[in-house]
Amino acid sequence: MSMRKVSVGVLIFLAGWGLGWYTHHHWDTAPVPSAKPVVPVPSKPVTPEAETVFIPTAPGDDENLAALLQRNDIDAVLERYESLQAQGDDATVADARNQILSYARQLIEYRRFNLAEQLLQGFLVAAYRDVEARVLLAAAYRGQEDIIAAIDQLYEARGYAYRPATLQRITARIRSLVAELKQSLKRNGDLAALLALFQHLTQQEPDHAPWFMELAATQLELEDREAARRSLLLVSQDPDVGAQAQALLAETNLALAGMHMQSWDAVPEVAGIPLHRSGNHFIADATPAHGRSIRLLIDTGASLTIFTPEVLEQHGIRYRDTGRTAIFNTANGPVRGPIYLLDSLAVGDWHVNHLEIGVLDLDSSFAADGLLGMNFLNHFQFFIDQNETLLRLSAN
């Protein structure tokens, strides 16, 4: 019995010694499996202080830029991107853009909205026409619950988009955000904010008649019937909402007649100013004081009305130099130009006195003498009637 135990012990010893020898001589030489970079996905919302976002770096990518992004060194990232732009290598710039936007997407996914906003705002200084970057910036604003800023950014993106599918996607997102914000404001009974929303939307999208109907409905809730009447008059001839507008006008006119003890026209029409089409844009005839008629493209995204230098030289327009300048975004990038002051500018029978204008060289293919900006249009309530190709104006 004792000999059997000894034999078993010897066998166990020999087996252990053999396994140890094999491991020592062969384990370190076995091939190690390779692994691709992995993007960690958090199981809960990530706070800016708690996590660092990582992006995969594929062969050929700009590793320096990737490292800067991973360190969240926004200033260095933007400096690096502008340096690549200056070198003029389109492929390298495109790769850098893709890395920046990919990182911004991940920041938004991880709910680091403020950092995404900083990155995208800086990127758009160098690439302000980038539609995808603006859509992402809108998502960052939405994440911070600044829905108005998100809507405005989507309108900016739509202004630079040209693919029908992209335009439809952006427009659908705008409509969705407006519906969400409208529901929230109505639930909170904040009619003043609702009024401001639709006043803003009629300026952002002055050819969308339903915004004017929403504005009029809010004005009626606030019992400002005269303002509602002006809003309804602008769209009373629209083929989509005209019948509804006329029905509301009839009710409003009856109420106003009772209040003022006077009769109101049942369905008067706001006279329109003829426009000229240029692709998806509209051009209006305008007349500066002491000058001949010129053509200005209506641009609700332009805060300032713009004239070309040739217009000022050839049309005998009176103006004075304010001594100030401004930076304008053009197709060739930001350009600084002077600001002048006109005695007045008229479109149809409507005019604005003491109007500031920027003076800027525009692309030679541009079909107008400048832009009719919001510093003129803000003096009025206006609707672009695409069906009749008219600009309909009324007093604010």
Q: What is the dihedral of CA 15, 18, 22, 24, to 10 degrees?
A: 110
User: Is the model's pLDDT at 390 over the cut of 90?
Assistant: yes
Query: What's the pLDDT at 262?
Result: 53
The three-state secondary structure class of 260 is helix
Distance CA 281, CA 298 (A): 7
pLDDT grade for 56, boundaries at 50, 70 and 90: very low
Q: Which two tokens stand for residue 269?
A: 């029409």
Domains in the chain with CATH codes: 63-180 (1.25.40.10), 190-260 (1.25.40), 272-395 (2.40.70.10)
Q: Which two tokens stand for residue 26?
A: 């062969």
Under DSSP, the state recorded for 43 is S
Amino acid at 247: A
Query: What's the pLDDT at 301?
Result: 87
Distance CA 69, CA 75 (A): 10
Query: What's the pLDDT at 362?
Result: 84
- The H-assigned helical ranges of 161-307 are 164-187, 191-204, 209-221, 225-234, 242-260
pLDDT grade for 26, boundaries at 50, 70 and 90: very low
Distance CA 203, CA 332 (A): 27
User: Is the model's pLDDT at 347 over the cut of 60?
Assistant: yes
Per-residue pLDDT tens for 246-286?
999 998 888 877 665 454 554 456 779 999 998 888 999 99
- Percentage, residues of the chain above pLDDT 90: 66
